[in-house]
């Protein structure tokens, strides 16, 4: 039941500009999870979404691929997996000891720059 409720928070990310991970982390923390567990759960929730996106992209483009591309896809998968593992571990360690303040400021700064860019160049 708690997993389902946190998943509902993920649905909030369908609103443009709302972070999927941010929504699930906030949802988990509102239900009593600690920072590390909430962040970890958010990363786990992303796995089916990313796997689905990969499968859809592969199905949409398989006619354009040759057997020679298989090696590149495998290498890309392995490199992405290793780098994601390192980044997730680093983020979990950081969040456990420092919290989300840096990420909050990052979202505000990047969002403001994006908004300013729309005003200036839009």
Tracing tokens 């982390």 back to the chain, one arrives at 25
Question: Residues 6 or more apart from 38 whose CB is under 8 A from it?
Answer: 24, 25, 26, 28, 29
| pLDDT confidence bin for 122, thresholds 50/70/90 | confident
Query: Among residues 77, 92, 82, which one has the least CA distance to residue 42?
Result: 92
Q: Does residue 45 surpass a pLDDT of 90?
A: no
Which contacts (CB < 8 Å, 24+ apart) does range 46-55 have? 46/20, 46/21, 49/20
Mean pLDDT of the chain: 92
Which contacts (CB < 8 Å, 24+ apart) does range 105-109 have? 107/19, 107/22
Give pLDDT, residue 89. Answer: 94
CB 11 within 8 A of CB 45: no
| pLDDT confidence bin for 52, thresholds 50/70/90 | very high
């Amino acid at each position: 039941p708690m997993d389902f409720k946190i998943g509902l928070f993920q649905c909030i990310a369908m609103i443009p500009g709302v972070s999927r991970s941010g929504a699930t982390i906030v949802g988990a923390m509102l239900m009593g999870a600690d920072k590390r567990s909430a962040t970890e759960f958010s990363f786990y929730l992303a796995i089916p979404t990313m796997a689905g996106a990969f499968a859809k992209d592969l199905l949409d483009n398989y006619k354009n691929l040759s057997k020679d591309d298989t090696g590149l896809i495998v290498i890309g998968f392995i490199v992405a997996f290793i780098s994601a593992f390192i980044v997730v571990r680093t983020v979990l360690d950081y969040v456990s000891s420092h919290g989300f303040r840096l990420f909050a400021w990052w979202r505000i700064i990047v969002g403001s720059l994006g908004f300013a860019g729309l005003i200036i160049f839009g």
